[in-house]
Amino acid sequence: MNLHSALRLAAGFFTLLSAVMIYLGHTNWVYFAAFVGINQIQSAFTNWCPMITMLKKVGLSEDGNSCC
């Protein structure tokens, strides 16, 4: 799995998780969903995403090969 596939997977997982938690009655999870959305918007303008930084630290690279 390459870096950008993992990024899309994480964004989809966190969005789905917050939707499920809101559905189950934990309405404060809407703030987490908003955080994920705002983070995606800011990354479009700044070309920097904190999740990419974390994924690189765990060893994912752009071409899908391990960096270590």
Number of domains in the chain: 1
**Per the domain annotation, does 45 fall within a domain?**
yes
**Per the domain annotation, does 29 fall within a domain?**
yes
**Per the domain annotation, does 16 fall within a domain?**
yes
**Per the domain annotation, does 63 fall within a domain?**
no
Helix and strand numbers, DSSP H then E, in the chain:
3, 0
- Domain boundaries, position 20: 3-57
Q: Is the pTM of this model over 0.75?
A: yes
The model's pLDDT over 40-54, given as tens digits with 9 standing for 90+, comes to 999 999 999 999 999
**Per the domain annotation, does 64 fall within a domain?**
no
**Per the domain annotation, does 66 fall within a domain?**
no
Angle, CA of 36, 41 and 47, to the nearest 5°: 110
The candidate with the shortest Cα–Cα distance to 64, out of 41, 18, 55, is 55
pLDDT of residue 64: 64
Question: What is the pLDDT confidence band of residue 65, given thresholds at 50, 70 and 90?
Answer: low
The model's pLDDT over 10-38, given as tens digits with 9 standing for 90+, comes to 999 999 999 999 999 989 999 999 999 99
**Per the domain annotation, does 34 fall within a domain?**
yes
**Per the domain annotation, does 67 fall within a domain?**
no
Contact 51, 3 (CB under 8 A): no
Average pLDDT of 52-58? 92
